[in-house]
Amino acid sequence: MFYKMACQRPGWSLIRNVTLSLLLRHNNPRQGIGRQMDGLRNLRVGRQLNRAACTTHSCSKVPPTPTWEPVGETPLSLAYSVSPDLMDRMERLALVDFRNHEGVARLQCAITFADQLHIVDTEGVEPMDSVLEDMQLYLRPDTAIEGDCAEVLLRLPTKTVEEFYVAPPGNIPLPQREERCGLKKKD
């Protein structure tokens, strides 16, 4: 009803802004805009209102002033230190070489940064694991529309054998920690 009132009184921009922000505001910050928009989609939207919805500032999700406070470093600085075993395991899993001071320092910063999450009170709140949780998964029909591009694909690697990709035989195991340190010293 508020919506219709806003339609009929184009001059009352303040009312329109307020009603729009009331309607479009979500009670639960996690609940996306999608659900409420479903109901609104069925209403006839006048062209004037459409323009207003696009340009007015109050329908933006970005708050006008910052609402967060920086967390002090002291309670979190030495919360978690990285052991050499953990470093070795992570290098082996991710195959990323970061065994120098810079790498370790960067890792420590990343851990400290993520530790800020521990301050947030998540009692009784269901964890969100994807920002797409309100989107509908599109189901594609079962017809072949891609493929048959072997030439294009095989132009990318430097070496191919009779339209096959070429790889080394099996996984080359990462050398053990001592051997790797030895290799590094040589470089």
Contact residues toward another protein (CB under 8 A) are 89, 93, 95, 129-150, 153-154, 161-171, 173
CB of 37 to another protein, least distance (A): 14
Nearest CB to another protein, comparing residues 76 and 98: 98
Q: Which residues contact 180 (CB under 8 A, 6 or more apart)?
A: 99, 174
CB of 66 to another protein, least distance (A): 27
**Distance (Å, whole) CA 110 – CA 158:** 36
Give the closest residue to 68 by CA, choosing from 6, 120, 9, 112. Answer: 120
Nearest CB to another protein, comparing residues 9 and 35: 35
Q: Are 26 and 34 a contacting pair, CB within 8 Å?
A: no
CB of 115 to another protein, least distance (A): 19
Nearest CB to another protein, comparing residues 62 and 161: 161
Nearest CB to another protein, comparing residues 65 and 83: 83
Give the closest residue to 157 by CA, choosing from 167, 149, 145. Answer: 167
